[in-house]
């Protein structure tokens, strides 16, 4: 059941309800558009700290998931270490599947 969240992440990406890239994610967190941030468990320490601090400041939930290769495959892009979910429905579904 845990890997079903990857299907939802892929669906959200295809629906245009995700953002990737460190700067874009930080911008979406600041603008309070990000509803959930998924971080790869092998993310670099500098990027991890930057994104986690923004999430804590703006009270956006974040969760560590699989490695960056698995997360990248879910959205069909390469070398993605973080994905911000921009839709409440997708965010709620992903959080429920990760519990």
Alpha-carbon distances, residue 16 vs 1, 9, 53, 54, 92 (angstroms)? 24, 11, 25, 22, 16
- Does residue 31 sit in helix, strand or coil? coil
Specify whether the CB–CB gap between 74 and 97 falls below 8 A: no
Residue 78 exposure: Cα atoms within 13 Å on the Cβ side: 0
pLDDT of residue 2: 56
For domain 4-98, give the CATH number: 3.30.1330.30
pLDDT at 76 over 70: yes
Q: Is the confidence at residue 3, as pLDDT, over 90?
A: no
DSSP structural state of residue 53: H
What is the per-residue pLDDT across 42-68, written as a single tens digit (0 to 9) for each?
999 999 999 999 999 999 999 999 999
pTM here?
Answer: 0.94
Q: Where are the domains of the chain?
A: 4-98
Segment 79-89 shows an average pLDDT of 96
Which helix (H) or strand (E) segment is 7 a member of?
Answer: helix 4-14
């Amino acid at each position: 059941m845990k890997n079903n969240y990857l299907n939802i992440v892929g669906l959200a990406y295809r629906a245009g309800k995700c953002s990737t890239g460190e700067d874009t994610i930080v911008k979406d967190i600041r603008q309070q558009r990000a509803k959930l941030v998924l971080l790869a468990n092998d993310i670099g320490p500098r990027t991890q700290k930057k994104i986690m601090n923004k999430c804590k400041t703006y009270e956006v939930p974040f969760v560590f998931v699989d490695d960056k290769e698995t997360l990248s495959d879910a959205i069909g892009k390469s070398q993605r270490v973080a994905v911000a979910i921009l839709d409440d429905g997708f965010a709620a579904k992903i959080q429920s599947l990760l519990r």
